Amino acid sequence: MKAKDYYYREARRLGYKSRASFKLLQINERFYLLKRGYRVLDLGAAPGGWSQLSLELVGAEGLVVAVDIKPVKIKGVVFIRKNVFDEDIVAQLTNYAPFNVVLSDMSPNISGVSSWDHARSLELAERALDIAIQVLKEGGHFLTKIFQGDMERDFRRKCEKYFELVKAHKPKASLPQSAEIYFVCKRFKSLRTP
């Protein structure tokens, strides 16, 4: 596929760990989530494309913490080998909190059954949101992926309780036939019960 080949080739040319780096790059160019000096948490980070790009954008004065059950080896990135559903994950993350940005490009294993894949993606996104509201700095940002479906509106409403701005966005680097979209949530308000 032409688009896939282009971003794949560009990722290799620029030394990025995955073509997914371009999704974050395009989202950031539009929504300005990542800035120099920021503290960033990347959930489900492997193979590390988003962590790698985040480190470039926040610079040496910033911090990037990557969480995954698979190893992420990027010089300058703090790696925590954990499942996001582990009960002690938030306690471990508080050593690095508060974060300016929480990112999640987590994806379920694709079954090919759209309703099932949608529900599983929402489970991951809701867990990412749950972690984000516990470790984000006031005014911080949250970005997560979901697969489109009938529960999307409820998830959006949940995000709107915590953030001043919530936008659904599909970057050009996403394959046109993919059901994935990203929820861009800006300016964390405060802890409230969903």
Residues in the chain, how many? 194
Q: Is 145 considered catalytic here? A: yes
Locate 184 and state its tokens.
Answer: 């861009």
DSSP 147-177: E-STTHHHHHHHHHHHEEEEEEE--TTS-TT
Axis crossing angle, helix 152-162 with helix 114-135, rounded to the nearest 10: 10
CA distances from 104 to 3, 42, 67, 71 (A): 23, 6, 10, 16
Rounded Cα distance, 194 and 192, in Å: 6
What is the edge-to-edge ordering of all strands in the sheet holding 99-104? 78-81, 63-68, 39-43, 99-104, 136-147, 180-188, 163-169
Axis crossing angle, helix 21-31 with helix 49-58, rounded to the nearest 10: 40
Residue among 145, 158, 170, 189 flagged as catalytic: 145
Determine the residue type at 26: Q
- Active-site residues: which are they? 145
